[in-house]
Amino acid sequence: MKYVIGKIKLGDNVYQNFPFIFPENFVHEEAAVVIRVLVEETYQRPCKIVSAGFADVEVECYGKSETLKLESQDTDSDLINAFSYLHGIQDGD
Protein backbone atom coordinates (compact mmCIF):
# COMPACT_ATOMS: atom_id res chain seq x y z
CA MET A 1 0.00 0.00 0.00
CA LYS A 2 0.99 3.64 -0.43
CA TYR A 3 0.27 6.62 1.81
CA VAL A 4 0.37 10.39 1.94
CA ILE A 5 0.09 12.64 4.98
CA GLY A 6 -1.88 15.88 4.61
CA LYS A 7 -1.48 18.70 7.13
CA ILE A 8 -3.67 21.70 7.95
CA LYS A 9 -3.11 24.61 10.31
CA LEU A 10 -5.81 24.89 12.99
CA GLY A 11 -4.38 27.90 14.82
CA ASP A 12 -1.18 29.42 16.15
CA ASN A 13 1.34 26.56 16.19
CA VAL A 14 -1.50 23.98 16.12
CA TYR A 15 -1.63 21.56 13.20
CA GLN A 16 -3.60 18.45 12.33
CA ASN A 17 -2.19 15.61 10.22
CA PHE A 18 -4.32 13.27 8.12
CA PRO A 19 -2.94 9.91 6.97
CA PHE A 20 -4.44 8.43 3.79
CA ILE A 21 -3.59 4.89 2.72
CA PHE A 22 -4.40 3.72 -0.79
CA PRO A 23 -3.58 0.88 -3.23
CA GLU A 24 -0.22 0.76 -5.01
CA ASN A 25 -1.82 1.00 -8.46
CA PHE A 26 -2.55 4.70 -7.79
CA VAL A 27 0.15 7.34 -8.26
CA HIS A 28 1.14 9.36 -5.19
CA GLU A 29 0.83 12.67 -7.05
CA GLU A 30 -2.69 11.94 -8.31
CA ALA A 31 -3.84 10.67 -4.91
CA ALA A 32 -2.40 13.78 -3.27
CA VAL A 33 -4.52 16.03 -5.50
CA VAL A 34 -7.72 14.22 -4.52
CA ILE A 35 -6.79 14.13 -0.84
CA ARG A 36 -5.87 17.81 -0.80
CA VAL A 37 -9.27 18.72 -2.30
CA LEU A 38 -11.11 16.44 0.16
CA VAL A 39 -9.39 17.93 3.21
CA GLU A 40 -9.67 21.53 1.98
CA GLU A 41 -13.38 21.15 1.20
CA THR A 42 -14.05 19.51 4.58
CA TYR A 43 -12.06 21.92 6.77
CA GLN A 44 -12.07 25.06 4.60
CA ARG A 45 -8.32 25.42 5.15
CA PRO A 46 -5.32 24.93 2.86
CA CYS A 47 -3.89 21.40 3.03
CA LYS A 48 -0.22 20.67 2.44
CA ILE A 49 1.01 17.17 1.67
CA VAL A 50 3.98 16.76 4.03
CA SER A 51 5.10 13.17 3.47
CA ALA A 52 4.46 10.13 1.30
CA GLY A 53 5.70 6.59 0.88
CA PHE A 54 4.76 2.96 1.24
CA ALA A 55 3.18 1.17 4.19
CA ASP A 56 2.67 -2.35 5.39
CA VAL A 57 -0.67 -2.31 7.15
CA GLU A 58 -2.91 -4.79 8.86
CA VAL A 59 -6.43 -3.65 9.57
CA GLU A 60 -9.55 -5.03 11.16
CA CYS A 61 -12.72 -3.64 9.58
CA TYR A 62 -15.89 -3.19 11.61
CA GLY A 63 -18.97 -1.02 11.99
CA LYS A 64 -20.98 0.87 9.42
CA SER A 65 -21.17 4.19 7.61
CA GLU A 66 -24.28 6.12 8.55
CA THR A 67 -23.85 8.59 5.69
CA LEU A 68 -23.52 5.86 3.04
CA LYS A 69 -25.90 3.49 4.84
CA LEU A 70 -23.43 0.63 4.32
CA GLU A 71 -22.02 -1.89 6.79
CA SER A 72 -18.57 -3.40 6.72
CA GLN A 73 -18.47 -6.88 5.23
CA ASP A 74 -16.81 -9.95 6.70
CA THR A 75 -14.34 -10.02 3.79
CA ASP A 76 -13.28 -6.32 3.96
CA SER A 77 -10.35 -6.89 6.34
CA ASP A 78 -8.98 -9.73 4.20
CA LEU A 79 -9.39 -7.67 1.02
CA ILE A 80 -7.49 -4.70 2.44
CA ASN A 81 -4.79 -6.79 4.13
CA ALA A 82 -4.15 -8.86 0.98
CA PHE A 83 -4.42 -6.00 -1.53
CA SER A 84 -0.65 -5.74 -2.04
CA TYR A 85 -0.63 -9.39 -3.15
CA LEU A 86 -4.00 -9.89 -4.86
CA HIS A 87 -4.68 -6.32 -6.09
CA GLY A 88 -8.35 -6.60 -5.07
CA ILE A 89 -9.06 -9.54 -7.37
CA GLN A 90 -11.40 -12.07 -5.80
CA ASP A 91 -13.89 -14.79 -6.75
CA GLY A 92 -17.64 -14.23 -6.51
CA ASP A 93 -19.78 -11.12 -6.15
Series of mean pLDDT values for 10-residue runs along the chain (93 residues): 93 91 94 96 95 92 95 90 67 60
Question: How high is the pLDDT of residue 87?
Answer: 56
Amino acid 92: pLDDT:
60
One domain for residues 78 and 44: no
Instruction: Specify whether 3 is located in the same domain as 47.
Output: yes
Structural domain range at position 3: 1-56
Whole-number pLDDT of residue 89: 60
Number of domains in the chain: 2
Identify whether residues 41 and 71 lie together within a single domain: no
Asked whether residue 90 falls in the same domain as residue 65, the answer is yes
| CA atoms in the 13 A half-sphere facing the CB of 92 | 2
Q: Answer yes or no: are the C-beta atoms of 27 and 65 closer than 8 Å.
A: no
Please indicate, yes or no, whether residues 34 and 63 belong to a single structural domain of this protein. Answer: no
Do 45 and 84 fall within a single domain?
A: no
Beta strands (DSSP E) in 14-90 are 14-22, 48-54, 64-65, 70-71
Whether residue 26 sits in one domain with residue 8: yes
